[in-house]
């Protein structure tokens, strides 16, 4: 910030470290913020839609991520600029709440800001622009609920859900196998969903990825998969009619938590100590045996001594199982977690149909699958793929698809994709604009133009001529009065998205509009940027 001089030519310092502070004010500040936000959205623009491209991100450690998921790209980009960060959070918030449409929301916000910039140049007050946007947003939301369709599905007829999930997967790298992936996602969600309460607990769905194998080998396990193996290679690989004991104590003599010291003064005492230790081991094993358990799952490790004893007593065991997994197993098998051996009893054991260890290909990697649980709701997706990057991306894509299915379970209204909903909203908004008096009219119209940006970007990414395509679809929508017409990204010959089966959830779309408008308002309202050091 520059110095301020008084009438007598003396400089005076008003702010601490005034010289080091940079300040941008007024229109200049708005412009620079808009520019920053626009550059973020232009990064994502090419990722939109079924023909959207992926981004490769290399983090400081050299780890590579290849993804098409808006939220992930922005998160890994480590954006520095403060206003640009708002867009990152915007995308994350869409991700947390809806799980899909993370790219669209940022592209929309970018478009809204680009339109706002034009209005600012004309001298319209930024807050008026923001208020106009809010009014327009309301109109668009109403339009969305009008053109929204409901999908009916039951536990037996999951077809509509699968189609919607497929739409989500369209833009992802795994779209070759989208049918299979979509089915996995739908089955996973439905097996944990409570259709009555319309509640889906995602904690019950676990994702495990193993590089190797083909994408087609991805499967859904009705049960829990642990990335662990039996503690001893010679233990039984498969256990049927399992009664498992979940332990949070290690297989070793108990240690008091208080600092202690054992004074051994004689050989006798030493022998006695040894005996005691041995006795502990045998007693522990005996206690497990007595309780009737035929599988031990332990949160901690156990040393060779215990491992050997377990093997001798034909007690298969899994060690180093994390707390979260232990909890999941407890829930699925109806077991109680046991803090010490003396509390073992038959009623605290969990039961399940089968536990087996599976090996993957020629590698030594193994996993333990716990199946046919009493409380069958927990499921695990085992994702396979050519390399780690594909597996990670597949996991993210599956997660997106599951989120969409969850949203449908919560609220079964959908709108059609391919930009059709945006075009319909845009037309409704610009129609509304004509009926509004004053400056707001301009802002509302700008909102309509910004909505057009989504189908434009879609067409652009598919290699179509964007303006031509948009104009065609728009005039068709108007002529046929059919809000289901959108950009034909897959060149399947029809613009009717209903026929193509491209669905998006209504709440997802609504959330996109609301969030984008909110953030745009926030950016527009800033007219003064004061910062220490470099702000750019």
Partner 1 sequence: MGPSMGRPGIILLREGTDTSQGKPQLISNINACQAVAEAVKTTLGPRGMDKLVFDGRKVTISNDGATIMALLEIAHPAAKTLVDISMSQDAEVGDGTTSVVLLAAEMLKQVKEFVEAGVHPQVLIRYMRQSAKLAVETVKKLAVPFEGEKGKEMLLKCAGTALNSKLISSHQDLFAPMVVEAVSGLKSDLSDLNLIAVKKVPGGEVRSSFLVKGVAFKKTFSYAGHEQMTKKFINPKILLLNVELELKSEKENAEVRITDPDQYQSIVDAEWNVIYEKLDKCVDCGANIVLSKLPIGDLATQYFADKGLFCAGRVDVGDMVRVGKATGAVIQTSTNGINAEVIGNCGMFEEKQIGDERFNLFTECVSKETATIVLRGGSEQFIEESHRSMHDAIMVVKRSLKSQAIVAGGGAVEMEVAKVLREESLKIEGKGQLVMQSFARALEIVPRQLADNAGYDATDILNALRKKHFHEQEGGKWFGVNIAEGGICDTYESGVWEPSINKINSLAAAGEAACVILSIDETVRNPKSEQPGAQPQAQQGRQGGGGMSGMMGNAMDIANNGARRGKLGHGVNYMKGRGGG
| Residue 169 CB neighbour total at 10 angstroms | 26
**Spatial separation of the C-alpha atoms in residues 176 and 104, rounded to whole Å:** 22
What's the closest the beta carbon of residue 9 comes to partner 1, in angstroms? 10
| Residue 502 CB neighbour total at 10 angstroms | 29
Strands 219-221 and 379-385: antiparallel
Instruction: Identify the H or E element spanning 119.
Output: helix 102-121
Beta bridge partners, 379, equal 205
What's the closest the beta carbon of residue 273 comes to partner 1, in angstroms? 4
What's the closest the beta carbon of residue 299 comes to partner 1, in angstroms? 7
What's the closest the beta carbon of residue 342 comes to partner 1, in angstroms? 9
Q: Is the CB of 93 or the CB of 177 nearer to partner 1?
A: 93
Contact 65, 48 (CB under 8 A): no
- Residue tagged active-site, from 95, 100, 400, 453: 400
CA distance to 110, 350, 379, 416, 462, per residue, from 204 (Å): 36, 17, 7, 30, 37
Q: What is the 3-state secondary structure (H, E, C) of 279-302?
A: HHHHHHHHHHHHHCCCEEEECCCE
69 given a catalytic annotation? yes
- Residue tagged active-site, from 65, 67, 69, 380: 69
The secondary structure of residue 203, as a DSSP letter, is: G
Contact 462, 51 (CB under 8 A): yes
What's the closest the beta carbon of residue 168 comes to partner 1, in angstroms? 19
Please name which of 192, 182, 194 lies closest in space to residue 158, comparing C-alpha atoms.
182
Q: Is the CB of 15 or the CB of 64 nearer to partner 1?
A: 15
Residue 324: CB partners within 8 Å, gap ≥ 6? Answer: none
Q: Which residue has the tokens 């006795």?
A: 279
Q: Is the CB of 265 or the CB of 362 nearer to partner 1?
A: 265
**Long-range CB contact pairs, 1-4, < 8 A, 24+:** 1/530
The secondary structure of residue 370, as a DSSP letter, is: E
Rg (CA), the chain: 30
Q: Is the CB of 26 or the CB of 493 nearer to partner 1?
A: 26
Q: Is the CB of 143 or the CB of 158 nearer to partner 1?
A: 143
- Residue tagged active-site, from 46, 65, 67, 103: 103
**Spatial separation of the C-alpha atoms in residues 186 and 113, rounded to whole Å:** 37
| Residue 58 CB neighbour total at 10 angstroms | 10
Is the alpha carbon torsion for 388, 390, 393, 397 positive or negative?
negative
Please name which of 104, 47, 87 lies closest in space to residue 421, comparing C-alpha atoms.
104
Q: Is the CB of 125 or the CB of 314 nearer to partner 1?
A: 125
CA distance to 138, 384, 410, 511, per residue, from 99 (Å): 23, 22, 13, 11
Instruction: State the distance between the two ends of the chain, measured CA to CA, in whole angstroms.
Output: 15
Q: Is the CB of 32 or the CB of 490 nearer to partner 1?
A: 32
What's the closest the beta carbon of residue 321 comes to partner 1, in angstroms? 10
Q: Is the CB of 240 or the CB of 320 nearer to partner 1?
A: 320
- Residue tagged active-site, from 67, 102, 380, 517: 102
**234 phi and psi angles, rounded to 5 deg:** -90, 0
59 given a catalytic annotation? no
Q: Is the CB of 97 or the CB of 449 nearer to partner 1?
A: 97
What's the closest the beta carbon of residue 78 comes to partner 1, in angstroms? 15
Reported residue count of the chain is 536
Helices (H), 18-63: 26-45
What's the closest the beta carbon of residue 383 comes to partner 1, in angstroms? 23
527 given a catalytic annotation? no
What's the closest the beta carbon of residue 365 comes to partner 1, in angstroms? 25
Contact 508, 422 (CB under 8 A): no
CA distance to 38, 246, 329, 448, per residue, from 333 (Å): 51, 10, 6, 54
**Spatial separation of the C-alpha atoms in residues 507 and 414, rounded to whole Å:** 8
What's the closest the beta carbon of residue 458 comes to partner 1, in angstroms? 23
103 given a catalytic annotation? yes
Task: Supply the residues annotated as catalytic.
Answer: 69, 102-103, 400
């Amino acid at each position: 910030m520059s110095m301020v001089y008084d009438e007598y030519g003396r400089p005076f310092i008003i702010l601490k470290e005034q010289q080091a502070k940079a300040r941008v004010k007024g229109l200049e500040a708005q412009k620079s913020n808009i520019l920053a936000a626009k550059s973020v959205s232009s990064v994502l623009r090419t990722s939109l839609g079924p023909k959207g491209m992926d981004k490769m991100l290399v983090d400081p450690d050299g780890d590579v991520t290849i993804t098409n998921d808006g939220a992930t790209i922005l998160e890994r980009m480590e954006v520095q600029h403060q206003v640009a960060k708002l867009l990152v959070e915007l995308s994350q918030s869409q991700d947390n709440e809806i799980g899909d449409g993370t790219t669209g929301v940022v592209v929309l916000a970018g478009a809204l800001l680009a339109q706002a910039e034009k209005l600012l140049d004309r001298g319209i007050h930024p807050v008026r622009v923001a208020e106009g946007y809010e009014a327009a947003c309301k109109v668009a939301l109403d339009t969305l609920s009008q053109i929204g369709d409901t999908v009916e599905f039951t536990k037996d007829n999951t077809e509509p859900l699968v189609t919607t999930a497929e739409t989500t997967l369209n833009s992802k790298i795994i779209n070759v196998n989208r049918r299979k992936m979509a089915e996995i996602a739908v089955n996973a969600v439905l097996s944990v969903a409570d259709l009555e309460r319309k509640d889906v607990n995602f904690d019950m769905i676990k994702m495990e990825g193993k590089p190797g194998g083909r994408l087609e080998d991805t499967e859904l396990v009705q049960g829990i998969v642990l990335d662990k193996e039996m503690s001893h290679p010679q233990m039984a690989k498969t256990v049927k009619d399992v009664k498992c004991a979940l332990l949070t104590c290690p297989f070793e003599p108990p240690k008091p938590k208080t600092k202690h010291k054992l004074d051994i003064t004689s050989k006798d005492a030493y022998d006695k100590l040894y005996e005691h230790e041995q006795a502990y081991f045998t007693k522990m094993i005996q206690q497990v045996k007595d309780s009737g358990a035929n599988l031990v799952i332990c949160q901690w490790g156990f040393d060779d001594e215990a491992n050997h004893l377990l093997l001798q007593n034909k007690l298969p065991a899994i060690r180093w199982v994390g707390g979260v997994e232990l909890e999941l197993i407890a829930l699925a098998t109806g077991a109680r977690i046991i803090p010490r051996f003396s509390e073992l009893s038959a009623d605290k054991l969990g039961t399940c149909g089968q536990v087996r260890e599976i090996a993957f290909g020629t590698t030594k990697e193994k996993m333990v699958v716990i199946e046919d649980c009493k409380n069958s709701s927990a499921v695990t997706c085992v994702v396979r793929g050519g390399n780690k990057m594909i597996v990670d991306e597949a996991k993210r894509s599956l997660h997106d698809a599951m989120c969409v299915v969850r949203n449908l379970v919560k609220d079964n209204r959908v709108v059609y994709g391919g930009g059709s909903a945006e075009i319909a909203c845009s037309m409704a908004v610009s129609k509304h604009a004509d009926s509004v008096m004053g400056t707001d009219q301009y802002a509302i119209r700008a909102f309509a133009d910004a909505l057009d940006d989504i189908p434009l970007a879609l067409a652009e990414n598919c290699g179509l001529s964007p303006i031509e395509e948009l104009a065609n679809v728009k005039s068709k929508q108007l002529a046929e009065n059919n809000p289901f017409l959108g950009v034909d990204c897959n060149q399947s010959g029809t613009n009717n998205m209903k026929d193509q089966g491209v669905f998006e959830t209504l709440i997802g779309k609504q959330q996109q509009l609301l969030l984008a408008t909110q953030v745009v308002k926030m950016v527009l309202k800033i007219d003064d940027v004061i910062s220490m050091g470099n702000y750019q």
